[in-house]
């Protein structure tokens, strides 16, 4: 009887200059990010991410109850881990959004979703999904009309 051998799964994969797709939801999916003041807080913190945490922020879409964005460790810095970066970003944006909107409840759900992108195809697929979110929700007819989207440090996975 021939024994079938299975390949072992890799315990760790190293990707040079990894690009992540991140989704973060508001606490209890409350619609708090449909306010320009809240979006301004998020954008200001993303602009500070490189200096404070060593992370570059790419394209983003802010929906009323969640946020999608692409990010990458800066090749020229000693970046914090993604988990530490997100912990700090959520802490600072929580303070800013609470102050701007006068709310006292938690701003973010405890967790966040991250996905390591492995190719340009994966980026294109994720970006297509993200940019069309406001259209699927019925907020705008075409994605480019949604006011709460853009990019901070780079516009594509090859832009850094």
pLDDT at 101: 94
Residue 33, pLDDT score: 96
Question: Mean pLDDT across the stretch 107-122?
Answer: 88
Pair type for strands 149-151 and 66-73: unpaired
Q: Give 21's DSSP letter.
A: E
Q: What tokens does 20 get?
A: 């992540």
Rounded distance between C-alpha atoms, residue 40 and residue 127, angstroms: 21
pLDDT exceeds 60 at position 112: yes
72 pLDDT tier (thresholds 50, 70, 90): very high
pTM equals 0.86
Give the residue with greater pLDDT, 25 vs 125. 25
Helix H segments across the chain? 36-53, 82-101, 120-131, 133-136
d(CA 19, CA 128): 16
Q: Which residue has the higher pLDDT, 18 or 38?
A: 38
């Amino acid at each position: 009887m021939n024994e079938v051998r299975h390949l072992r799964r890799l315990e760790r994969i190293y990707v040079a200059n990894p690009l992540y797709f991140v989704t973060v939801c508001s606490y209890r999916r409350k619609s708090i990010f449909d306010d320009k003041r809240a979006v301004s807080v998020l954008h200001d913190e993303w602009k500070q991410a490189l200096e404070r945490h060593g992370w570059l922020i790419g394209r983003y879409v802010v929906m009323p109850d969640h946020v999608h964005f692409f990010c990458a460790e800066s090749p020229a810095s000693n970046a914090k881990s993604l988990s530490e970066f997100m912990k700090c970003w959520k802490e600072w944006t929580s303070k800013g959004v609470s102050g701007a909107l006068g709310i006292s409840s938690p701003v973010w759900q405890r967790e966040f979703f991250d996905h390591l992108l492995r190719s340009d195809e994966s980026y294109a697929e994720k970006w297509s999904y993200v940019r069309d979110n406001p259209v699927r929700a019925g907020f705008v007819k075409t994605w480019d009309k949604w006011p709460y989207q853009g990019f901070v440090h780079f516009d594509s996975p090859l832009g850094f």
